[in-house]
Amino acid sequence: MLVLLTLSIITFFICNIIMFLASFLSKKTIIDREKMSPYECGFDPKSSARLPFSLRFFLIAVIFLIFDVEITLLLPIASVFNLANMISWLITSSMFLLILLFGLYYEWVQGALEWAE
């Protein structure tokens, strides 16, 4: 147990040191107005380079990604069917699907799946 704790602490510190070094070394030291502006063939930009982004679209995209990852977690359930105990396989897959359906129902009730109001 002590070995596991020691390795966890060492791993934590190594990760923190690497993240600190990466953020420190990646900082740009020269800030110039010309380098920070968008480039359009030497002319001044016609409009802002920052376009407004639909928060509703972003929310739908994140929900899609979450459920997409969950579907990839569902795929191995069918291949494990022959290798596992029938009762444990049925309970595990049913609980996983129940949690997924509960999450989908919650998103539906909250109105996160409605594109236009």
CATH number at residue 62: 1.20.58
Domain containing 83 equals 2-110
Please give the pLDDT value at position 42. Answer: 62
14-15-20-26 Cα dihedral, nearest 10 degrees: 120
Read off the tokens for 110.
Answer: 């909250």
Question: What would the mean pLDDT of 55-71 be, rounded to a whole number?
Answer: 84
Asked, for residue 116, whether it belongs to a domain, the answer is: no
Q: Count structural domains, the chain.
A: 1
* % of residues, the chain, pLDDT over 90: 21
Read off the tokens for 102.
Answer: 């509960």
Cα separation of 80 and 84, whole Å? Answer: 6
Residue 85 Cα distances to 80, 82, 89, 90, 93, angstroms:
9, 8, 6, 9, 12
The model's pTM is 0.49
